[in-house]
């Protein structure tokens, strides 16, 4: 049903998380466009609006998991912890929305159900579930990459007598786990964050693990005054370092190979990296993500750590990852994850030996037994990258449907545009390096590139930009090449490959050539008059 008058603006942005907020600021306040942001949730924050599960916090450190475009914003905001918790990130984004007066152009509680390009009028018509219609020359998706919750189709879920939740759709009032028998399915970054917190609250926690995972201690802690002062003093340098880094983190990457040092020296370097903690463990040697033998030394170090932490040898064995190498799936970081399996009230179920057969009214039934549960928590991840975009039902020129165009896997130019879909920009989409990057760094680059592109069109009296098919083909080959130059495609069960969603095409989706390199490519494309795009 379509009701009401069509509401017209220059641009429509879908999503009010980190991406949508900054894109709105740029298009409205720097370019002077009229902009409408449509957001499905009842609040801003995107990922951080939805992910409120126990233990939810960012794996990037707070002082660089934030916008860098405004020095004033940076100076007036104080982070309390090394890794910000979900609530603190929401408060930060609320502050940004207020500070830049963004709310007046954001319409909450508005879920987009379709977007159609009109060739004759050269505009996009966006429809919402409530039947509203919006029209704009430019459509920008800022819907996130990990926002379509993946609840596995386990038979019997509807029959479960208790309550169940997906971590990415967490009830805002919270869940009381006291005196509850809780089952947690999934041991990715989310399950690994949630496990220790759930174990502390529940009467019993059963963790259902399909793939054992590597994890490095986060070493979270309060931001003390000394550290805050250091961050302020070094802010410009830290931001510059993040911009120039392969993953948007201001890490000092070692220039040494893990294979060029003695075993004793290597062990000492890994021990120091383990003590320091966090995602920067990867930076201990330059070739951990590039060379199988080098990576194996890191993988083995973590396997040994797991065995040294987990007291029960059988549990330790089941927790030891063997199916993939360290960080070839998104590497989690944790606070007492492995230690939690030493608690009396925690049980690990290895689904590789006893798969889940069904969910029954009283709990989860595996091949050999039934685990009675009051609550099931699905930490089973997302239909990553393509899921949120396909949910918008985007239709371009000549009746092209994005879902059909991407049936064999996503194709894009620079991860920013898709041939056949003029004036549509996809922030943090497949083909962009965003999910392999400290996200705000990728987001700022995307938003600025898109704003510059629209400014370029307007200054020249042009009204349409569309990626050329040959450019998208070439970019697809570059995405493949970049992935093959790393160890990332080796993890056959990773969501980078779409492997976690049954029936999804197995294509390595993110651009693995590094954020800084990607930024350079995008800058050259723009400087060359938007090479690979047709401008009209
Ligand atoms: P992930 O990383 O996709 O992890 C999901 C976990 O759930 C993973 O251990 C999966 O096992 C498991 N899973 C998925 N489906 C099932 C079924 N059907 N049965 C049992 N276990 C299952 O999602 P997260 O939310 O942890 O993290 C997503 C991103 O958020 C993360 O990378 C950060 O960027 C932030 P599998 O490994 O597929 O065997």
Q: Which of 327, 285, 286 is nearest to 490 (CA)?
A: 327
Q: Which atom of ligand 1 is nearest to the CA of 210?
A: 39
Asked if 106 contacts 27 with a C-beta cutoff of 8 angstroms, the reply is no
* Closest protein CA for atom 2 of ligand 1: 188
Q: Find where tokens 């383990």 sit.
A: 274
Which ligand 1 atom is at minimum distance from the Cα of 356? Answer: 19
Range 88-95, long-range pairs (CB < 8 A, 24+ positions): 88/62, 89/45, 89/48, 89/58, 89/65, 90/43, 90/45, 90/48, 90/49, 92/66, 93/17, 93/18, 93/21, 93/44, 93/45, 93/46, 93/48, 94/44, 94/45
CA distances from 326 to 80, 381, 390 (A): 30, 19, 31
> For the whole model, what pTM was predicted?
0.97
Q: Which of 500, 503, 506 for mutating ligand 1's site (highest number of atoms within 8 Å of CB)? A: 500
For residues 2 and 127, give the distance between their C-alpha atoms in angstroms, rounded to a whole number. Answer: 8
Ligand 1: which residue has its CA nearest to atom 35?
Answer: 189
> Atom 23 of ligand 1 has which residue's CA nearest to it?
381
CA distances, 408 to each of 112, 287, 397, 403, 508 (Å): 24, 32, 19, 9, 12
Contact 74, 235 (CB under 8 A): yes
Ligand 1 center to 381 CA (angstroms): 4
Which tokens hold the place of 189? 């970054």
Q: Which residues pair with 117 in a beta bridge?
A: 124
Spatial separation of the C-alpha atoms in residues 69 and 92, rounded to whole Å: 14
13 contacts 37 by C-beta, under 8 angstroms: yes
Residue 12: closest CA among 120, 98, 133: 133
What is the b/e burial string over 427-444, where b = at least 16 CB atoms within 10 angstroms of the residue's CB? Answer: bbbbbbbbbbbbbbbbbb
Ligand 1 atom nearest residue 154's Cα? 18
State the DSSP code for 5: P
Q: Which long-range contacts (CB under 8 A, 24 or more apart) does 460-464 make?
A: 460/535, 462/535, 462/536, 463/122, 463/137, 463/536, 464/122, 464/422, 464/423, 464/534, 464/535, 464/536
* 67 Cα–ligand 1 center, Å: 28
Among protein residues, the one with the nearest Cα to ligand 1's atom 32 is 330
Q: Which helix (H) or strand (E) holds 388?
A: helix 386-390
Q: What's the distance, Cα to Cα, between the start and end of the chain in Å?
A: 34
Distance from the alpha carbon of residue 350 to the mean position of ligand 1, in angstroms: 15
User: In testing the pocket of ligand 1, which one of 54, 350, 355, 380 has its CB within 8 Å of the most ligand atoms?
Assistant: 380
**Separation of 328 CA from ligand 1 center, angstroms?**
14
Task: Name the maximum alpha-carbon separation found in the chain.
Answer: 72
Atom of ligand 1 nearest to the CA of 330: 32
Q: How far apart are the CA of 451 and the centre of ligand 1, in A? A: 34
pLDDT value of residue 3: 64
The answer to whether the beta carbons of residues 361 and 373 sit under 8 Å apart is no
Tell me how far the alpha carbon of residue 187 lies from the centroid of ligand 1, in angstroms: 6
Closest ligand 1 atom to Cα of 435: 34
296 Cα: distance to centroid of ligand 1 (angstroms): 22
Cα 102 to middle of ligand 1, angstroms: 34
Between the CA of 330 and the centroid of ligand 1 the distance, in Å, is 10
- Ligand 1 geometric centre to CA of 186 (Å): 5
User: Closest ligand 1 atom to the C-alpha of 153?
Assistant: 18
Q: For ligand 1, what atom is nearest to the CA of residue 168?
A: 25
What is the ipTM score, two decimals? 0.99
CA distance 245 to 173: 39
188 Cα to the center of ligand 1, angstroms: 5
Please tell me the predicted confidence (pLDDT) of residue 4: 75
CA–CA separation, 376 vs 59, rounded Å? Answer: 24
Residue nearest to atom 29 of ligand 1 (CA): 189
Task: Give the residue, by CA position, lying nearest to ligand 1 atom 15.
Answer: 380
Element of type H or E holding 389: helix 386-390
Nearest ligand 1 atom to alpha carbon 193 = 26
The two three-digit tokens of residue 260, written as one number: 């060029």
Residue written as tokens 């009396």? 344
Residue nearest to atom 37 of ligand 1 (CA): 211
Residue indicated by tokens 């962009």 = 432
Atom nearest to 493 CA in ligand 1: 38
CB neighbours of residue 330 within 10 Å:
20
CA-CA-CA-CA torsion sign (27, 32, 33, 37): positive
**For ligand 1, atom 14, which residue shows the shortest CA distance?**
380
CA of 195 to the centre of ligand 1 (A): 13
Q: Which of 193, 210, 365, 440 to mutate to test the pocket of ligand 1 (most atoms within 8 A of CB)?
A: 210
CA of 379 to the centre of ligand 1 (A): 6
List the chain pLDDT tens, one digit each, 536 residues: 556 799 999 999 999 999 999 999 999 999 999 999 999 999 999 999 999 999 999 999 999 999 999 999 999 999 999 999 999 999 999 999 999 999 999 999 999 999 999 999 999 999 999 999 999 999 999 999 999 999 999 999 999 999 999 999 999 999 999 999 999 999 999 999 999 999 999 999 999 999 999 999 999 999 999 999 999 999 999 999 999 999 999 999 999 999 999 999 999 999 999 999 999 999 999 999 999 999 999 999 999 999 999 999 999 999 999 999 999 999 999 999 999 999 999 999 999 999 999 999 999 999 999 999 999 999 999 999 999 999 999 999 999 999 999 999 999 999 999 999 999 999 999 999 999 999 999 999 999 999 999 999 999 999 999 999 999 999 999 999 999 999 999 998 999 999 999 999 999 999 999 999 999 999 999 999 999 999 99
Q: How far is the CA of 192 from the centre of ligand 1 (A)?
A: 10
Which residues have C-beta atoms less than 6 Å from ligand 1?
A: 146, 152, 185-191, 210-211, 330, 351, 379-382, 493, 495, 500
């Amino acid at each position: 049903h379509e009701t009401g008058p069509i509401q017209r603006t220059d641009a429509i942005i879908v999503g009010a998380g980190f991406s949508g907020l900054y894109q709105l600021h740029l298009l409205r306040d720097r370019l002077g466009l009229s902009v409408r942001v449509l957001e499905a949730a009842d609040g801003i924050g995107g990922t951080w609006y939805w992910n409120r599960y126990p233990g939810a916090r960012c794996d990037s450190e707070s002082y660089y998991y934030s916008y860098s475009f405004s020095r004033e914003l940076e100076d007036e905001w104080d982070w309390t912890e090394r890794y910000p918790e979900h609530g603190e990130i929401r408060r930060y984004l609320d502050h940004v929305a207020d500070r830049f007066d963004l709310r007046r152009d954001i319409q909450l509680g508005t879920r987009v159900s379709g977007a159609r390009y009109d060739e004759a009028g050269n505009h996009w018509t966006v429809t919402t579930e409530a039947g509203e219609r919006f029209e704009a020359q430019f459509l920008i998706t800022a819907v996130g990459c990990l926002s379509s919750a993946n609840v596995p189709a386990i038979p019997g879920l509807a029959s479960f007598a208790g309550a169940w939740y997906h971590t990415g759709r967490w009830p805002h009032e919270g869940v009381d786990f006291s005196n509850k028998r809780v089952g947690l399915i999934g041991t990715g970054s989310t399950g690994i964050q949630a496990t220790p917190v759930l174990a502390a609250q529940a009467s019993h926690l059963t963790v259902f693990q399909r793939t054992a995972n590597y994890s490095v201690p986060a070493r979270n802690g309060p931001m003390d005054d000394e550290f805050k002062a250091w961050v302020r003093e070094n802010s410009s340098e830290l931001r510059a370092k993040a911009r120039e880094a392969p993953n948007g983190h201001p890490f000092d990457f070692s220039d040494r190979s893990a294979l060029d040092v003695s075993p004793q020296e290597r062990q000492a370097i890994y021990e120091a990296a383990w003590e320091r903690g966090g995602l920067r463990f990867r930076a201990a040697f330059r070739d951990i993500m590039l060379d199988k033998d080098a990576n194996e030394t890191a993988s083995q170090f973590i396997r040994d750590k797991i065995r040294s932490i987990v007291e029960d040898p059988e549990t330790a064995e089941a927790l030891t990852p063997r199916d993939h190498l360290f960080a070839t799936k998104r590497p989690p970081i944790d606070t007492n994850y492995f230690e939690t399996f030493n608690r009396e009230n925690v049980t690990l179920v290895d689904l590789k030996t006893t798969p889940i057969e069904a969910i029954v009214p009283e709990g989860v039934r595996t091949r050999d037994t039934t685990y009675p549960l009051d609550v099931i928590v699905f930490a089973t991840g997302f239909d990553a990258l393509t899921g949120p975009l396909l949910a918008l039902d985007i239709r371009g020129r000549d009746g092209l449907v994005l879902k059909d165009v991407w049936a064999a896997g996503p194709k894009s130019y620079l991860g920013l545009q898709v041939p056949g879909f003029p004036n549509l920009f996809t922030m943090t989409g497949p083909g962009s390096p965003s999910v392999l990057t400290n996200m705000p760094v990728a987001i700022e680059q995307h938003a600025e590139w898109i704003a510059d592109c629209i400014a370029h069109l307007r200054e020249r009296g042009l009204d349409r930009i569309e990626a050329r098919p040959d450019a998208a083909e070439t970019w697809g080959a570059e995405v493949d090449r970049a992935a093959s130059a790393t160890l990332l495609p080796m993890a056959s069960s990773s969501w980078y490959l779409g492997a976690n969603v049954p029936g999804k095409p197995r294509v390595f989706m993110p651009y693995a050539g590094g954020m800084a390199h990607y930024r350079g490519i995008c800058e050259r494309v723009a400087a060359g008059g938007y090479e690979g795009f047709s401008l009209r």
